[in-house]
Structure 1
Amino acid sequence: MIHFKCPACKKSYKISGKYAGRRTKCKACGQKFRLPSPAVAIEEKPIAVAVVKENREFDDAIRPELPWADWLTECQQRFGDAPRKFDAETSAYLSFPMGWICGWLFFIPLCKLLKNSRQREIFRKGKVVWAHIIQVNDTLFTQSLSGGAGDQDDDDAPGELVFSLDTSGRCTPETLMPIADKIGMLRGQNLSDPELKRIGDYLEAETVRAFGWNVPKQFTPRLPCFISTTMFMRKHLPSRCLQQSFLPIVVSHKSPHYAMPLPERFWAPDLIAWWTTH
């Protein structure tokens, strides 16, 4: 359990640790804030043991209380079947604003995701699935400091996601959340397993980018999952900021699995309503 107080009115609460990191609202005063993470002592060996044990309960984890499958289906229907064709206005809405990007960006790994041809391929042919955030700059959970209101926002930022290629909605954010948590715990650890060390070092470096890396099987033995860097464009997010740690994304139809958040325009209205108020 997590024990915490509202930062505004100091009302005390306790809630299951599985909700750590999510956005919430105080029932007493209405203040919105992120739930704190419980203190966890992390050692290399217990990580794998805990993950394997948790995944034995996979079948229970895929029976969510929220209508995950219905929300995902509606997002898929609103986005349309691949290959998609977009009019000029929609194409401009989907595109990444390249005007403010300095020339040096084209020499960093993130360029593999942001170049125009890649973006067109993702949105035209990609599949819509659920994803959970592994790590991201906290500023994305607040309104933009630059005050951008159009296509371009200086506070757009990359982040790391975990997802499966399941399009049925069977793999939900509730399924992905413990996987994301365990992956995030690898950051900064002194790991001897080369596969885990590679992921931990990548998360620690922050400037290293992953595209379609396989999640280690001990983390998710029954459900193949992938890790990818994405770019959070505020113009594609409800209220131009992150308000939950999960979201629908569009994933390349072929390997490596490049991923971009599904733009808000194609989200199910009920999903937007829940995502922005809880």
Structure 2
Amino acid sequence: MSVKIDSAEIVQCPKCSKKLRLAKQSPSEAAGASDATEPRPRATNTPQPPSSPAAAVQPQTTWPGMLNETRQRFGNAPRTFSDDEKAYLRVKFSFLTRLLSSADKLCQPLAAQESVFRDGVIVWGHLIQANNQLFQPGKRDLPGEMVYALNPPNITPEELGQVAAGLGSLKGTRPAAPALAPIANYLTDEYIRVFGLPVPPAISAKPCMISTVYFVRHHLPNWMLSDGLMPLVVSPRTPHFAFVLPALYWPEMLLQHWQAARPVIRK
């Protein structure tokens, strides 16, 4: 839920009900970045564990700055990872996924996970829909749908949220518009997988895409979904497989918003 108050936006966290103030940038700040809102930092920053990557990275408070911070923490492509990082990044096939692998295209991104993490582009993504079990603690990894833009300076996180809401409103409907009917059918079905499906101009004038994402519990803060906005790592080439970027590499401010500590890789 969000409401406009004067020149700022107050966003209420769906998990803890605490409010985060997103202040508008000044004209000089806006000239250097298109994202027009920024979260206000708390009085104290959560200390970063020494074992976290890029320990010297300075936490940022603007949306473009946080995305750049995330990219610094994860590194430039092609990336190399330590054995401990590889173990943390690895997405394992569950028994059910293996059982359905011959019919479910969800196994395609899982099979390509090493190349996605090595070469993927870091962008903001916004949740459209996900299995209800992901919004509560648990151990089972489950799928959902995310919308994103591979050219992130052209769209703000707030705009991504509006696109996600527009797409979500199509679920369970039968729109007459030929461009919207396949999207409505796909979201309603919940078992159709897409990887880089273009968002129709009727929903977003700016180029966006949709990908089915396999939400890996140990990659999420607190092992569950607590908010709709999160960084994604997306294959730069078709098919555009995507994963939620593991929380180890998230910007400090976003972890604070999720009320989560930065994970520590256990050796």
* TM-based fold match above 0.5: yes
SS in 2 for 1:194: coil
Assess, with a 3 A threshold, how the Cα gap between structure 1 residues 26 and 257 changes in structure 2: closer, same or farther: closer
Residue 21 of structure 1 and its aligned partner are, at CA, apart by 9.3
Question: How far, CA to CA, are the matches of 2:108 and 2:12 in structure 1?
Answer: 29
Residue 62 of structure 1 and its aligned partner are, at CA, apart by 3.9
Say whether residues 1:214 and 2:205 are aligned partners: no
**Which residue is equivalent to 2:16?**
25
Question: How far, CA to CA, are the matches of 1:192 and 1:19 in structure 2?
Answer: 36
Larger fraction in helix: 1
Question: How far, CA to CA, are the matches of 1:124 and 1:204 in structure 2?
Answer: 33
Say whether residues 1:190 and 2:174 are aligned partners: yes
Assess, with a 3 A threshold, how the Cα gap between structure 1 residues 111 and 19 changes in structure 2: closer, same or farther: farther
Q: Percent identity?
A: 36
Say whether residues 1:143 and 2:137 are aligned partners: yes
Residue 242 of structure 1 and its aligned partner are, at CA, apart by 1.0
Say whether residues 1:75 and 2:58 are aligned partners: no
SS in 2 for 1:132: strand
**Which residue is equivalent to 1:171?**
155
Residue 69 of structure 1 and its aligned partner are, at CA, apart by 1.1
SS in 2 for 1:218: coil
**Which residue is equivalent to 1:125?**
119
SS in 1 for 2:166: helix
Say whether residues 1:161 and 2:152 are aligned partners: no
SS in 1 for 2:212: strand
Alignment counterpart, residue 63 of structure 1, candidates 10, 22, 36: 36
SS in 1 for 2:128: strand
What's the CA shift string for 1:24-63, capped at 9, x where partnerless?
A: 5346xx9xxxxxxxxxxxxxxxxxxxxxxxxxxxxxx941
**Which residue is equivalent to 2:164?**
180
Question: How far, CA to CA, are the matches of 2:12 and 2:164 in structure 1?
Answer: 11
SS in 2 for 1:248: strand
Question: How far, CA to CA, are the matches of 1:124 and 1:237 in structure 2?
Answer: 19
SS in 1 for 2:102: helix
Question: How far, CA to CA, are the matches of 1:214 and 1:178 in structure 2?
Answer: 16
**Which residue is equivalent to 1:49?**
none
Q: Which letter does structure 2 place at the counterpart of 1:137? A: N
**Which residue is equivalent to 1:113?**
109
Assess, with a 3 A threshold, how the Cα gap between structure 1 residues 254 and 93 changes in structure 2: closer, same or farther: same
Contact 2:35 2:64 survives alignment (8 Å): no
Question: How far, CA to CA, are the matches of 1:95 and 1:267 in structure 2?
Answer: 17
What's the CA shift string for 1:84-130, capped at 9, x where partnerless?
A: 11122211211111253433323211111111xx1011100001000
Contact 2:79 2:118 survives alignment (8 Å): yes
The alignment yields a C-alpha RMSD, in angstroms, of 2.4
Residue 19 of structure 1 and its aligned partner are, at CA, apart by 8.4
Q: Which letter does structure 2 place at the counterpart of 1:188? A: G
Say whether residues 1:238 and 2:211 are aligned partners: no
Q: Which letter does structure 1 place at the counterpart of 2:211? A: S
Question: How far, CA to CA, are the matches of 2:10 and 2:93 in structure 1?
Answer: 36
Length, aligned pairs only: 219
Normalised TM-score (structure 1): 0.72
Question: How far, CA to CA, are the matches of 1:178 and 1:263 in structure 2?
Answer: 24
Q: Which letter does structure 1 place at the counterpart of 2:14? A: R
SS in 2 for 1:65: strand
